[in-house]
Structure 1
Amino acid sequence: MIALPLSKSAIATPLALPLFLLLTAVAAFAPTLAHAGPCSATIDQLQAVVDSRIDTTAGTGGMARESAEVTDHRQPTPESIARAEKELGEGTGYGQALTLLGQARQADQAGDEATCGKLVDAARGALTR
């Protein structure tokens, strides 16, 4: 067996990586936590519902020609999918719901809970159309 001399950095290495990962995670989530408004959780829940419905409609609805964006290797966004579904006459409330959720996020970041709540309710209503 060959014994290698250990340096101080070799001893600290097992602790350095977990500490680095912890600090990186805290730094990554700090801006999100700092900007959470009074109705952020409600907006996030409704966003998940809208995204799920868009995915379901896109998977079961009609077909359309691929756009130039797709052939340029760009990933579709919920907004672009909702726009395409609207052109096919499907999911017409999805685009409006996404717009309202965007406005609700702005009101939420401004701390305007009343406006945010109204916009979230309007987005829910757009989903039922």
Structure 2
Amino acid sequence: MTPELTALTLAALLQVVHFVIYSVSAQKQVGSDYAASPRDEPRALTGFAGRAQRAMNNHFEGLILFSIACLVTTYADKGGKLSALCALIYLAARLLYIPAYLFGWSPWRSLIWFAGFLATTIMLVGTLL
């Protein structure tokens, strides 16, 4: 497997971690009865659970673009040291983003997010060169 696809697989597993953190914290806040209900009326999450939900959603959004970058890089046979490094930077940034968002590390959260976004953008541009 290419380094880019390995990073993509690990990023997908990180999404599972995000979901578990969100799910556990949300259930603590709203209770198991609501969590098991049809949730016809959504409840806004606050505090840690709200941050966990927003961090998870942000990872979903970033993962879409990163997935495209990894797949195009791999299938266009444009992989190399730069794309592998960018994939590693993206993955490291996403790992750091979880505690940065959950614990409100400002302005680090935004800088960490930008590192992952920039790495993904460089991968995409690299496929066109």
Structure with bigger RCO (C-alpha 8 Å, 6+ apart): 2
Greater fraction helix: 2
Taking structure 2 as the reference length, what is the TM-score of the superposition?
0.40
TM norm structure 1: 0.40
